[in-house]
Copies of this chain bind each other. A is one copy, B any other.
Amino acid sequence: MPNTSASRLDATIPRSAVAKSAILRSVRPEFRSAPLRSADASAEAGLRHIGSLIARPEGRAIIEQGDPATYVFRVIDGLLRAVLLLPDGRRYVVRFMWPGDFFGFEFGRRHIHTVEAIVGVKLMRYERARLDELMATHPQAGYQLLGQVNHELSSAQDHLLMLGRKTALERLTSFLLEMATHRTDPAQIMGKEARLPMSRADIADYLGLTMETVSRLMTRLRRRRVIALPTTDIVVLLNRAALVRLADCKVKALRP
């Protein structure tokens, strides 16, 4: 789903910093804000100086809820999840972080999510204090960040609509189409298949469903030849039109 309006040069990291749901965009394409251009050259250079590259293995927590917000991170490689927990253990996955995404920027002094590596990751880590300095010296950088946060906000609001008003099937199909926008195998034509490196539980917690419901719906889609599942973590979109139709709110389709 190419952003015709926005395929502007996106400097170092190929993936848009803020991954947008193709589906949510398709609901009202003309209303989406343009993806961020990366910060201007000098700010970008500045960033490079104040950051350091770190690697973390699968399963490791990068940030814990309540940690002092000392660092801001940018994903170079891998995949992470941001998690909120309720006292009784219910879990909600706020977002997944893909290469190019920033995370850990908190206006307050403490992190509000736990962030865990879903696979082994490489990250750039920036000191928050230095970032503030950078913003003071390069006002552009602050503006870029504002755009980033604003985009994340509208993304979260789309997700609110989804959780508040969409059925399980609509949520899952939206999710699959969103995942298909991420680069998978470079040899593959993007959008033809989706990689799901996260567990079914992660998907469920992201969509406000249970693992079992996700699993059942996957099976249903498979039986109807809308998708194929060569492995549990690869989804081939056999019938994209059907997926789009289902995601775009035709509620009653595709009965068991």
Interface of A with B (CB < 8 Å)?
A: 27-28, 30-34, 65-66, 84, 86-88, 90-92, 94, 105-113, 135-136, 139, 142-143, 145-147, 149-154, 156-161, 163-166, 205, 207-208, 248-251
Contact = CB atoms under 8 A, between A and B. Distances in A.
A149 B152 CA distance: 10
B33 A109 contact: yes
A116 B90 CA distance: 34
Given A142-B142, A249-B87, A34 B108 contact: yes
**Within the oligomer, what is the number of copies of this chain?**
2
A154 B152 CA distance: 10
Contact of A164 (B92, B107, B145, B149): B92
Nearest to A209: B164
Q: Which of A87, A105, A108 has the most CB of B within 10 A?
A: A108
B156 A146 contact: no
A25 B30 CA distance: 35
